[in-house]
Amino acid sequence: MSTALAGERIRAVRRLLGISQIELAEAAGVSQSLISQVENGVKEATDDLLYAVASATNTPKLFFDILPPEIPLGSLRFRKAASARVGDTKRVKALFDEAYRVVSSLFAETHYPLPDLPIAQGDITADDIERLANETREALQIGDDGPIRHLTRSCERAGIAVVPLTLPGSHDASDEIVGHFGISFWPSREEPALVGYFSNGPGDRLRYTLAHELGHLVLHTRRRSAADPEAEANRFAGALLMPQERAKTVFESGLTLKEYARLKAHWGIAIQALVMRAAHLDLISEERKSSLFRQISARGWRKQEPVMVHPEQPMLVNHLMAIKYGNSGTYAKASEKLALGAMVLRSLAPKMAA
Domains in the chain and their CATH numbers?
Answer: 3-65 (1.10.260.40), 73-298 (no CATH)
Q: Is the pLDDT of residue 282 over 70?
A: yes
**Alpha helices (H) in 221-270, listed in sequence order:** 229-241, 244-250, 257-267
Amino acid residing at 198: F
* Cβ atoms 236, 214 nearer than 8 A: yes
Q: What is the mean pLDDT of residues 169-197?
A: 74
DSSP state of 62: G
Q: Is the pLDDT of residue 225 over 90?
A: no
DSSP state of 112: P
Residue 226: the pLDDT is 86
**Alpha helices (H) in 81-181, listed in sequence order:** 86-110, 126-139, 151-157, 175-178
CB atoms within 10 A of CB 319: 16
Residue 296: the pLDDT is 97
Burial of 98 (0-12, 13-18, 19+ CB in 10 A): buried
Residue 175: the pLDDT is 46
Q: Is the pLDDT of residue 171 over 70?
A: no
3-state secondary structure of 100: helix
Per DSSP bridges, beta strands 180-185 and 160-165 are: unpaired
DSSP state of 205: H
When pLDDT is cut at 50, 70 and 90, the band that residue 54 belongs to is very high
Give exposure, 241-259, as e/b (b: 16+ Cβ within 10 Å). Answer: bbbbeebeebbeeebebee
Q: What is the mean pLDDT of the chain?
A: 90
Residue 122: the pLDDT is 94
Number of H-type helices and E-type strands within the chain: 17, 4
Lowest mean pLDDT among 63-67, 139-143, 242-246, 256-260: 63-67
Please give the helix or strand (H or E) that residue 11 lies within, else none: helix 3-17
Residue 324: the pLDDT is 94
CB atoms within 10 A of CB 17: 22
Residue 151: the pLDDT is 98
Sign of CA dihedral 213, 217, 218, 220: positive
Residue 79: the pLDDT is 56
Residue 72: the pLDDT is 63
Whether pTM > 0.85 for this model: the answer is: yes
* Cβ atoms 50, 7 nearer than 8 A: no
Quote the CA–CA distance of 83 and 341 in Å, as a whole number: 29
Lowest mean pLDDT among 25-39, 255-269, 317-331: 317-331
45: nearest Cα among 54, 56, 34: 34
Side by side, the strands of the sheet bearing 160-165 are 77-80, 180-185, 193-198, 160-165
When pLDDT is cut at 50, 70 and 90, the band that residue 176 belongs to is very low
CB atoms within 10 A of CB 304: 8
Quote the CA–CA distance of 139 and 312 in Å, as a whole number: 20
Lowest mean pLDDT among 48-62, 89-103, 146-160: 89-103
Burial of 180 (0-12, 13-18, 19+ CB in 10 A): buried
Per cent of the chain over pLDDT 90 is 77
Quote the CA–CA distance of 285 and 252 in Å, as a whole number: 11
Model pLDDT for residues 72-100, shown as the tens digit of each residue: 665 566 655 555 677 777 888 899 999 99
